[in-house]
Structure 1
Amino acid sequence: MEFEKRKAAAMASLGSTETDKSPKGSLDTPIIPLINTLNNHPSYFTTSSCSGRISILSQPVCSTSAAAPKPRKKALGGSWLFVSHEFADPNSVIDLLFRSPSTNGELSELVFRFEPLIIAIECKDLGSAQDLVSTAISSGFRESGITSASKRVIIAIRCSIRMEVPLGTTEKIMVSPEYVRYLVDVANEKMVANKKRTDGFLKALQSRVAAVTNVSQTCQGISLREAMEEANDLLDSKEHSCADEEDCGALEGGNRNANSGSSEACNYSLSVEQMEKINKSIGFLRWERLGDIVVLPVTSFKDPTWDTIGEELWPLVAKSLGTCRLARQGRVASTGTRDSNLEILVGDNGWVDHRENGITYSFDATKCMFSWGNLSEKLRMAHLDCKDETVVDLFAGIGYFVLPFLVGAKAKLVYACEWNPHAIEALKRNLQANCVSNRCIVLEGDNRETAPKGVADRVCLGLLPTSEGSWVTAVRALRIEGGTLHVHGNVKDSEEELWTQHLRHSITEIAKSEGHCWDVSVEHIERVKWYAPHIRHLVVDVRCKRIQQNS
């Protein structure tokens, strides 16, 4: 109820004619459709936003006196010398910098900036927050994540295509007009990329909202009404009583109408409270689709009463959702093989086909988990140039990264290490389906025993929360000249630098112990997704290069 109150207050403020607390004082026009779509969703409302901007910030130069305390960055203040939420005109910016004398006697630093879209959103619960973050990340806003999950669930939609370049001071510009023109062109290109991602996010969000709306309407209309009536009949025929009298009342609430096919059926009257009780009892208005399987959350139909009519109930639910196969999510097994615990409720088996980035993944969803959040990282690996390289994937699974290396990056050869027999079965099937089995060697068992040595140009260590147990194996797999390690890990946002230093130091020491004289450096840090509040899934590209010694 508190969420609804805060949302109502925020919407009233948004609809006010008074200026808001932002420097501009109003919403940025380019993202009004996106803001409206978010705020029209019952589980979200926006608290602050910026569509993306090109600006020149004028900041007072802080005192260099030893006696004067150094102010924090936010306390420096400043003002915009130039700001645009659309494309910037290079001539106007150059004219502003080089032909307009400063009217302010105070010495200020001038910084040219591009800042992409950022939106802060309060969510009704963690589930809806995770759904929206996933949608944002898949739309290119890879820095999106949950920023608060205590009293209020807050997420930030953002990405990393920002730019910040010092230009000099109000007394002296340290760059040429030609360089300023270049900066504006680069910023305009980033604005194009920002708009493309924003439009993609809006489209994905509208599709998602439409899907939820359609399901909601179906559930509240004929299909759910018929399913619930039949479920009640089943309960009555078995002479069972509801475990919770309120839930029973909710299921039997409203006026039953025998004319199930008429328009009157869609007006089946349930009070808001009764509908909320139904939603709380069955809990499947939020679901996922895996191939052609509709997957209900682990919390759905959790009341023991449903178990007594399960065989008759599940086909009714499947019918209401328009699917031939229905499943319920389980917890991922805590075993080393991380088996899936998906339960098939309607259908013969759990084998599904999923196509992503031009690659077909086939797997038994009841035996193997599928990682949705690694989409951007799989795409990054697919865009590498590996045509003359040998790759070792120490945690191949069903081929999450093996296939992008082979299909997209055109790797010469991939060694795929995996110890889960169910994943191996799917991996071999996927290699055949994508016509790359002739360039992959599958090694079954513990990678510490099966991984090849001295052959790899790059090694993938895609295990969460940590792959540290196989860092020695990875170093041994690299060629004597060295190569690249793609090391995955879950890291606290406050400890990214510390963890990266630990990784680099560890690889350096392991290389020395293996007799290698390598220069070990961090080439890139990819922030894939937020795994949990303040816990980020990182991939660090570690470059190992042999140091030439004088003879």
Structure 2
Amino acid sequence: MYRIIRVSPEKGEEIRKKAIAGKFLDTTRKIRKTQDESGTCLEIPVTEAAIGKIGDFPVTEQENPEFSKKPVSLKEYIKDFLSEAKLANVPSGWQILGDIIIVSIPETLEDKKIRVADTLLSMYPKCRSVVRDFGIEGQFRQPIRELLLGSGTETIHKEHGCFFKQDVTKVMYSKGNLNERKRMSRLGEGEVIVDMFAGIGYFSIPMAVHSRPKKITGIEINPESFAYLKENIRLNKAEDIFVPICGDCSKVAPEGTADRVLMGYVGTTHHYLEPAIKALKKKGGILHYHETVPEKLAKIRPQERIIEATDALGKKVEILEARRIKKYSPGVLHMVVDARIFE
């Protein structure tokens, strides 16, 4: 049974937005203009969940529904509202975390940013907010973002059987690291883990959920990220093995306890190599070292930094693997190196 709400053309946009906000707009069918005994009206296609939600407008059955052919891009949705010049600057991609859409909108579309946000919500009726992204800043790599439309910026993102609660305007979450998070989820069974830059649990929560290490110590210096780390430990039922610590990992990381150390931070990660190596057990262990590096140095510099830090501590090292995670910026790669440290 296909359901609709019949409204006057003047009320059409208002009811459409209410249907989006209430998550009962049926985007598989077209909004159709028809005639009835009272004159011209619009048929807003809705799901069964609309019943009782719009008091003045009853939900009725639709005959001969007209299904929409879903456009393949934002440009197709918005082309009737923008000039050709502005249409060329419409973003071709965006990120969805939980029920929030994150999109970069160029300055040339400043006067159309709400139209872009509203269109994105039409495309994704299960989402409730659109946030504009301006990049990241500072030691804590905090996002610079603006809420354009919607009811909030906190969400729970579900990924690979894990829950990540976060405020998208306060903490970063890179979907480009998905494969590395999945890889980490297969490592560490029965081990003692130290996560030097835990964030909200990007890499260590998947380990806790899927590999069940003996113990994880997650260290995070940013109080806002740390608060979400504690919440995510609870959401993922890992309280029995996961110990969160708020502080500078170079000062609070436990020494001589870990079978495996995660260094999932980029920028100045090499400054923390010595405390990371010291966190490993005396007999040694595995180090997962992340770095952003010019493409021409990707196979050289990260390994050299690990070897230099290991030599300074009188240890030995075996480079197990170096992998590209993603392109970080033009000419710069995000790399991760796995190394075995031993005496």
Of the three residues 498, 503, 526, the one matched with 2:305 is: 503
Residues 529 and 536 in structure 1, CA contact (< 8 A), matched pair in contact too: yes
1:393 aligns with 2:195: yes
Residue aligned with 2:174, SS: coil
Instruction: State the Cα distance separating 1:301 from its structure 2 match.
Output: 6.1
Equivalent-residue separation in structure 2 for 1:285 and 1:526 (angstroms): 28
Name the CA shift for 1:497/1:306 in 2 (closer, same or farther; >3 Å). Answer: closer
Say what the alpha-carbon RMSD is for the aligned residues: 2.5
Name the CA shift for 1:535/1:214 in 2 (closer, same or farther; >3 Å). Answer: closer
Could you say which residue in structure 1 is the equivalent of 2:174?
Answer: 371
1:279 aligns with 2:91: no
1:145-197 CA distance string (max 9 Å, x none): xxxxxxxxxxxxxxxxxxxxxxxxxxxxxxxxxxxxxxxxxxxxxxxxxxxxx
1:316-345 CA distance string (max 9 Å, x none): 546544543121112212x11111122112
**Higher strand fraction (1 or 2):** 2
Residue aligned with 1:329, SS: strand
1:355 aligns with 2:158: yes
1:291 aligns with 2:98: yes
Residue aligned with 1:374, SS: helix
Residues 77 and 119 in structure 2, CA contact (< 8 A), matched pair in contact too: no
Residues 291 and 302 in structure 2, CA contact (< 8 A), matched pair in contact too: no
Partner AA of 2:72 in structure 1: T
Residues 176-195 of structure 1 aligned to structure 2 (within 5 Å): none
1:465 aligns with 2:273: no
1:531 aligns with 2:328: yes
Equivalent-residue separation in structure 1 for 2:267 and 2:322 (angstroms): 16
Partner AA of 1:218 in structure 2: Y
Residue aligned with 2:313, SS: helix
Name the CA shift for 1:375/1:314 in 2 (closer, same or farther; >3 Å). Answer: closer
1:441 aligns with 2:243: yes
Partner AA of 2:292 in structure 1: N
Residues 292 and 328 in structure 2, CA contact (< 8 A), matched pair in contact too: yes
Residue aligned with 1:345, SS: strand
Partner AA of 2:103 in structure 1: L
Name the CA shift for 1:321/1:439 in 2 (closer, same or farther; >3 Å). Answer: same
Larger Rg: 1
Name the CA shift for 1:480/1:212 in 2 (closer, same or farther; >3 Å). Answer: farther
Partner AA of 1:326 in structure 2: V
1:330 aligns with 2:173: no
Which one is further off, 339-348 or 475-484? 339-348
Residue aligned with 1:494, SS: helix
Could you say which residue in structure 2 is the equivalent of 1:492?
Answer: 294
TM-score w.r.t. length of structure 1 = 0.46
Count matched residues. Answer: 273
TM-score w.r.t. length of structure 2 = 0.72
Of the three residues 190, 213, 219, the one matched with 2:72 is: 213
1:410 aligns with 2:212: yes
Could you say which residue in structure 1 is the equivalent of 2:147?
Answer: 344
Partner AA of 2:136 in structure 1: V
Partner AA of 1:387 in structure 2: E
Instruction: State the Cα distance separating 1:375 from its structure 2 match.
Output: 1.1
Equivalent-residue separation in structure 2 for 1:277 and 1:336 (angstroms): 38
Could you say which residue in structure 2 is the equivalent of 1:456?
Answer: 258
Instruction: State the Cα distance separating 1:423 from its structure 2 match.
Output: 0.9
Instruction: State the Cα distance separating 1:285 from its structure 2 match.
Output: 5.2
Structure 1's unaligned 5+ residue stretches are 1-209, 229-250, 252-273, 513-517, 547-551
Partner AA of 1:404 in structure 2: P
Residues 165 and 228 in structure 2, CA contact (< 8 A), matched pair in contact too: yes
Equivalent-residue separation in structure 1 for 2:91 and 2:299 (angstroms): 41
Instruction: State the Cα distance separating 1:366 from its structure 2 match.
Output: 0.8
Residue aligned with 2:318, SS: strand
Instruction: State the Cα distance separating 1:409 from its structure 2 match.
Output: 2.2
